[in-house]
Chains A and B, each alone.
Chain A
Amino acid sequence: MKISAVFKHVLSMAAVAAFAAVAVPAQAWEPTKTVEFIVPAGSGGGADQMARAIQGIIVKHNLMKEAMVVINKSGGAGAEGFLDVKSAKGDPHKIIITLSNMFTTPLATGVPFNWRDLTPVKMMALDEFVLWVNAETPYKTAMEYVDAVKKAGAGKMNMGGTGSKQEDQIITAAIEQKTGAKFTYIPFKGGGTVAVQLVGKHIDSSVNNPIEAVAHWRGGKLRPLCVFDTQRMPYKDKMTSTMSWNDIPTCKEAGLDVNYLMLRGIFMPGGVSQDQVDYYVNVLRKVRETPEWTALMNKGAFNQTSLEGKEFADWVAAAEAEHIALMKAAGFMAGGK
């Protein structure tokens, strides 16, 4: 109870105005108590940032009458968070933000969980992955780099990434399968650490998200080679003196036919009613219309695709099938399946 006491104390101190009641249009269902927003990842990471930004936008624009608290449940590569939501069947006061570990964690560890245990609410955005090398290396294109990796010999060049048997390593495995190059994959705890390890030349490349590496790119320490998307990123503001996000070629254009996007979506527990899902869909639609959200999207050069309802569920099912195929080929499945 101490948390909420402290929380309320400061609320009253810093943002009294924000809590003045504001008319919310009449709806079939509304939360009747505090909503828990579960983050199946540690504090400070990409999913956590997005969850806290959403929470901040909701508070600032009074999009919900009841309060929302963000709770990190990162244990077991996110399994803790997913199992928590799975066991809260029928509870409409709980939502969860997901990343690719929704697929990878149960597949790699055998934890009894599948996304079908949850109710898809809305895809908020997709996170891009970019192939980065240190700016002092001679590689100007993705293929130059891949050729250098092949030439150096199997396992001589190091690819750094976040976590093990998760998105970064899956992309690495996909590059290996397409090109025959062989990396040594080094797992680190966070994306920011990976970017700094690359700047310090302790690893040879990374597949950092834009937001994790942008500061070092702009500082002239890292060079982007290609983006693992089917289209170039749409952001045309110059990030360095010569390049914008839009100037980075897709990996396919560059001759490396690999693409991968990471889901940033919101889910509810299973067994909730359509009314309850609609309530959150509405709130999240309003979140996406705010200038703060647009600023966050620009900052992280996100792919702004957003889906709801059946389309979203179909997308998730397809993404799951892709993950199973990729992880099987790479030998990342639990129990060597």
Chain B
Amino acid sequence: MDALNSLLDGFAVALTFTNIALMFAGVILGVIIGVLPGLGGANGVAILLPLTFSMAQTPGGQTSAIILLSCIYWGALFGGAITSILFNIPGEPWSVATTFDGYPLAQKGRAGAALTAAFTSSFFGAAVGVIVITFLSPIVAEFALEFGPPEFFAVYMLTFCAFIGMGKEPPFKTIVSMMLGFALAAVGSDTVTGTLRMTFGTATLLTGFDFLVAVIGLFGIGEILMTLEEGLEFRGASAKLNLKVVLETWKELPKYWLTSLRGAAIGCFMGIVPGGATPASFMSYGVARRMSKDGDKFGEGMVEGVVAPETAAHAAGTSALLPMLTLGVPGSPTAAVLLGGLLIWGLEPGPLLFVEQKDFVWGLIASMYLGNIAGLIVVLTCVPLFAAILRIPFSVIAPIIIVICAIGAYTVHNTTFDVYMMVVFGVVGYAFKKLAYPLAPLVLAIVLGDRAEASFRQAMLVSHGDMSIFFSNKLVGGLTGLALFLLFWPLISWLIRRLR
């Protein structure tokens, strides 16, 4: 009950007029940031950080400052889903998995339902994440300490294995796509040896291929090329335009309680470890597709296929703040910027923060509850508005999308080269779709490839090249075992059937 008392004190800190105004301002700004591809939550928070510096000097100002910044973060988490569903363009890395079923739903004229499901699941995931932070923070912080290089590699491997071998595409096409992703992820500076790889001596390739540029091109531009070929027809035009759709979707959602709970559990785990929201959303989608009785229909526009990744992404995004506060390790790029903010304001994230800065910590936690409610209100009331965008004729909206995509690609590193790369990726995306190669494994490999590689090589340094390190204790052995089990599940289930 100690936590409950502290939480009530926290609400007292967070519930001032200024703080609530900041919450709504933050959420709205965050949604805008989330919608624009390229301008991610991390960028948005970083841009505003210096402003909060003056804010944080006033009494209680540190809490207001973190409320503003964290609400931008929540807003961006919500906003990322919007363009994924409407245009197949993920605004944020963790909404890639949302496109798999969200976009087909929109094409069937159910954009409103997809948006409502995405926002509501996001909210549910966040709520579970905050509850975990509120009541389990000491235990959970200890758990994160168990994770060294082999454990991290096992988690990434689990993500890959949860996703592999279950698509409708032939396994070899999946592998081709994934290997291409790994190759792209390897370009640039290598963390382990510090040398440059595959840059061909040019300065433009130093930064490697940014995930966002690839995604904007593969999905956004690729989709527009497809639509052009099919004769400028936008297929989502019949979307319903009133708030009734929200209520109707809510009636449908309780059916997916198990998927939601699984998504939230995966999300919290990945947030705390910290593995991040992007792998969480992919893993949750993969697991849902395997466990659901409608698994075959995933990818054709299932509400369940939107619920799974969104719940996990938001649960991970929220619980990622816990290792940041208790250990000083950011669980996401945005959390890294927030962490920098705390240090600039003169706070010291770490085990003592909960003891020394009670008002701040509990004010922040209380604001997570309130900020997410504010976020849900803002985005749900806008569902008809967002869905109405689909009524704009394609010949008008397509040029706008291309311009926004180009700006987004440019923003990532402020270079024109990335805009050209976006176009190249667009053509690749188009070719992939024409030849029926899956894009998701490629994207997953670009996002996680270098992290998985770094963890693997760190583990190999620790063990002097001995692979048994991946079974050296219960935790890592369990994770590796589970990954292998998922990978070989098709074979295992076939064997079981034969034996019967």
Contact = CB atoms under 8 A, between A and B. Distances in A.
Interface stretch (A211-219, A224-232, A248-256, A270-278): A211-219
B446 interface: no
B148 A215 contact: no
Interface string B223-240: 000000000000000000
Contact of A158 (B46, B48, B462): B462
Nearest to B455: A188
A77 B194 CA distance: 8
Given A215-B328, A215-B348, A3 B194 contact: no
A137 B53 CA distance: 39
Interface string A55-85: 1110110000000011111111101100100
Nearest to A79: B206
A185 B191 CA distance: 12
A186 B461 contact: yes
A72 to B, nearest CB: 8
A193 to B, nearest CB: 6
A60 B54 CA distance: 6
A164 B191 contact: yes
Contact of B47 (A6, A216, A296): A6
Contact of A192 (B25, B43, B194, B328): B328
How many A residues are at the interface, by size bracket? 35 or more
Given A2-B36, A6-B33, A196 B145 contact: yes
A3 B39 contact: yes
Given A49-B343, A75-B189, A186-B462, A108 B50 contact: no
Output the residue of B44, B54, B336 with the most chain A CB within 10 A: B54
A218 B356 CA distance: 12
A52 B49 contact: yes
B458 interface: yes
B340 A48 contact: yes
A189 B59 CA distance: 35
Output the residue of B192, B328, B411 with the most chain A CB within 10 A: B328
B344 interface: yes
Interface string A126-160: 00000000000000000000000000000100100
Nearest to B356: A218
Nearest to A219: B351
A179 interface: no
B458 A186 contact: yes
A56 B343 CA distance: 13
Given A2-B411, A218-B350, A80 B25 contact: no
Nearest to B21: A13
Contacts of B53: 52-53, 55-57, 59-60, 292
B29 A10 contact: yes
Given A3-B47, A44-B339, A219-B351, A184 B32 contact: no
A49 B203 CA distance: 26
Contacts of B145: 196, 199-200
A7 B33 CA distance: 11
Given A108-B194, A186-B149, A3 B50 contact: no
Interface string B140-162: 00001111110000000000000
A195 B329 CA distance: 9
Contacts of A3: 39, 43, 47, 411
A2 B407 CA distance: 8
B170 interface: no
Contacts of A90: none
A326 to B, nearest CB: 15
A309 interface: no
Top 6 A-B residue pairs of the complex, sorted by shortest distance between their CB atoms: A215-B350, A56-B53, A75-B207, A202-B148, A44-B336, A164-B194
Interface of B: 25, 29, 32-33, 36, 39, 42-44, 46-55, 57, 68, 144-149, 188-196, 199, 203, 206-208, 323, 327-330, 333, 336-337, 339-341, 343-344, 346, 348-353, 407, 411, 413-414, 454, 458, 461-462, 464
Interface of A: 1-3, 6-7, 9-11, 13-15, 18, 42-45, 48-49, 52-53, 55-57, 59-60, 69-77, 79-80, 83, 108-109, 111, 155, 158, 163-166, 184-190, 192-193, 195-197, 199-200, 202, 211-212, 214-216, 218-219, 221, 292, 295-296, 299, 332, 334
19 contacts: A10-B25, A44-B337, A56-B49, A56-B51, A60-B57, A72-B46, A75-B413, A77-B194, A111-B206, A158-B462, A164-B192, A186-B149, A186-B462, A189-B454, A190-B330, A196-B327, A202-B149, A202-B462, A215-B348
